[in-house]
Chain A
Amino acid sequence: MKNILAIAAKDIHSQFVSPIAYVVLTGFLLLGGWFFFHLLARFSFLLQLYLSFRNPDAMQRLNLNEFVIAPLLHNLSVVLVILVPVITMRSFAEEKRSGTYELLMTSPLTITQIVLGKFLGAFVFVLVMVLLTGVYPLILVLYGNPEPGVILAGLLALLLLATAFVSVGLLTSSFTENQIIAAVTCLVTLLLLYVISWPAETAGATLGAMLKYVSLTEHFGEMVKGVIDTRDLVYFLSITILALFLTQRSVESLRWR
Chain B
Amino acid sequence: MIEVRNLTKRYGDLVAVDRVSFTAKKGEIVGFLGPNGAGKTTTMRIITGFLPATTGTVTVEDFDIFDDAHEVRKRIGYLPENPPLYADMTVTSYLEFVGRIKDVPRAALPDAVDRAVQRCGLTEVRRRVLGHLSKGFRQRVGLAQALIHEPDVLILDEPTIGLDPRQIREIRSLIKELAGQRTVILSTHILQEVVQICQKVVIINEGRVVVEDTIENLTREMSLEEVFMRAIGGAPGAEEAVA
Using a CB–CB cutoff of 8 Å, the interface residues on chain A facing chain B are: 2-3, 6-7, 10, 13-14, 17-18, 98-110, 254-257
Q: Chain A nearest CB: distance from B10 CB in Å?
A: 11
Interface contact A106-B100, CB-CB below 8 Å: no
Inter-subunit contact A10/B97 (CB<8 Å): yes
Chain A residues lying within 8 Å of B19, measured Cβ to Cβ, are: none
Which of B72-80, B164-172, B215-223, B231-239 makes up part of the contact surface? B72-80
Cβ proximity bits B40-72 to A, threshold 8 Å, 1 near / 0 not: 000001001111100000000000000000100
User: Is B162's beta carbon under 8 Å from chain A?
Assistant: no
Residues in B neighbouring A101, C-beta threshold 8 A: 84
Q: What is the total of A-B residue contacts with beta carbons within 8 Å?
A: 71
Contact residues on B (Cβ < 8 Å of other chain), bracket: 20 to 34
What sequence of 0s and 1s flags, for each residue 124-159 of chain B, a beta carbon within 8 Å of any chain A beta carbon? Answer: 000000000000000000000100000000000000
Chain A residues near B145: list those with CB within 8 A.
Answer: 103
| Contact with B78, one of A3, A102, A255, A256 (Cβ below 8 angstroms) | A102
A255 to B145, CA, bound (A): 23
Q: Which of B100-125 contact A (CB under 8 A)?
A: 100-103, 106
Residues of B within 8 A of A98 (CB): 84-87
Closest CB-CB distance, A128 to chain B, in whole Å? 19
**Cross-chain contact A105 with B74 (CB below 8 angstroms):** no
Interface on B for A, CB 8 Å cutoff?
Answer: 45, 48-52, 70, 73-74, 76, 78, 80, 82-89, 93, 97-98, 100-103, 106, 145
Residue ID in chain B nearest A9 by CB atoms: B97
- Contact in complex: A106, B78 (CB < 8 Å): yes
Whether the pair A100, B101 counts as a contact (CB closer than 8 A) is no
Cβ–Cβ contact A99 & B73, under 8 A: no
Chain B residue contacts of A109, Cβ below 8 A: 73, 101
Q: Which residue of B lies closest to A100 (CB)?
A: B84
Tell me the smallest distance from the CB of B49 to a CB of chain A, in Å.
Answer: 6
Say whether chain B's binding surface is mostly helix, strand, loop, or mixed. loop
- Of the candidates B45, B50, B52, B83, the one whose C-beta lies within 8 Å of that of A256 is B52
User: In the complex, what distance in Å separates the CA atom of A14 from the CA atom of B131?
Assistant: 12
Closest chain A residue, CB of each to CB of B71: A108
A105 in contact with B80 (CB, 8 Å): no
- Chain A residues with CB under 8 Å of B106's CB are 2
Could you tell me the distance between the alpha carbons of A254 and B48 in the complex, rounded to whole angstroms?
A: 13
Contacts of A3 in B (CB 8 A): 100-101, 103
**B residues less than 8 Å from A2 (CB atoms):** 100, 106
B50→A105 contact, CB < 8 A: yes
Contacts A6-B100, A10-B97, A99-B80; is A106 near B50 (CB within 8 Å)? yes
Q: Which residues of B contact A105 (CB under 8 A)?
A: 49-50
How close is A143's CB to chain B, nearest CB, in angstroms? Answer: 42
Per the bound structure, the CA–CA distance linking A106 and B149 in Å amounts to 13
Q: A99: which of B84, B88, B98 is its contact (CB, 8 Å)?
A: B84
16 additional contacts (CB under 8 A) given A13-B93, A106-B73, A255-B52: A3-B100, A10-B97, A14-B86, A98-B85, A101-B84, A102-B50, A102-B78, A103-B78, A103-B80, A106-B49, A107-B73, A107-B98, A107-B101, A108-B70, A108-B102, A108-B103
Q: Give complex CA distance A102, B102 in Å.
A: 13
* A99-B82 in contact (CB<8A): yes
The chain A residue with its CB closest to the CB of B99 is: A6
Contact between A102 and B101 (Cβ–Cβ < 8 Å)?
no
Least CB distance, A108 to chain B, in whole angstroms: 4
- Report the nearest B residue to A106, measured CB to CB: B48
Residue of A10, A105, A254 with most partner-chain B CB within 10 A? A10
Q: In the assembled complex, how far is the CB of residue B239 from the closest CB belonging to chain A, in whole angstroms? A: 32
In chain B, what residue has the closest Cβ to A17? B88
Q: A6 CB to closest chain B CB, in angstroms?
A: 4
Q: Which residue of A lies closest to B83 (CB)?
A: A99
List of A residues within 8 angstroms of B73 by Cβ: 106-109
Other-chain contact of A100, B50, B85, B93 (Cβ < 8 Å)? B85
A18 with B88, Cβ < 8 A, contacts A102-B80, A108-B74, A109-B101 known: yes
CB-CB under 8 A from B74, the residues of chain A are 108
A6→B97 contact, CB < 8 A = yes
Closest B residue, CB atoms, query A16: B88
Residues of chain B with a CB closer than 8 A to A102's CB: 45, 48, 50, 78, 80, 84
